[in-house]
Amino acid sequence: MITIRTILPEDNSAIASTIRNTLAEFGANKPGTAYFDSATDDMFASFQIPGSRYHVGLIDGQVGGGGGIYPSAGLPDGVCEMVKMYLSPQARGKGLGRQLIEECLSFAQSHGYAQVYIETMPELQKAVSIYEKFGFQYLDGPMGNTGHYGCSIWMLKKF
């Protein structure tokens, strides 16, 4: 059974492990990515600012992954970023990723965002193809000042 809920402090360790293990699995554990982002270690605290929310996906009560919406620095008004969307290997192929993306997009739209921005990497091609299915379009360069200079794919979805 899949459950989606807002992050709790006790989720920090499991989410940080999922993010770092996934990046390592795909050879994307490099500087300028969430692998080295200090916010990865305390996702609960990072998502306490207005206009942000991190969703945790549980499969049979176990953390399977997560994803969030964040008003990243330097983005234009009305634009938020979908961030730190990662699933453990055991959680893939069960519909959890789709549900997390739907939850993120719903939150963004209900909180007045007109567009959702994503930064990702070619190593995460499966995720990129899923973002395409949700209507994200490719951009020629980055938006805002996220600090994730290791990302080379930028996408935007308009509502």
pLDDT in tens, 77-114: 999 999 999 999 999 999 999 999 999 999 999 999 99
Looking only at the bridges linking them, the beta strands covering 115-120 and 79-87 are: parallel
Compute the average pLDDT of residues 152-156: 96
- Which residues have C-beta within 8 Å of that of residue 124, sequence separation ≥ 6? 26, 28
Domain 2-158 - what CATH class? alpha beta
What are the tokens at 147?
């600090």
Q: Convert the pLDDT of each residue in 5-25 to its tens digit.
A: 999 999 999 999 999 999 999
Q: What angle is formed at CA 115 by the lines to CA 110 and CA 67, rounded to 5 degrees? A: 70
Q: Is the dihedral of CA 35, 154, 117, 82 positive or negative?
A: negative
Amino acid at 29: N
Q: Domains of the chain: which residue ranges?
A: 2-158
Tokens, residue 113: 């965002």
**CA separation (Å) from 117 to 58, 69, 95, 97?**
25, 9, 22, 17
Prediction pTM value: 0.94
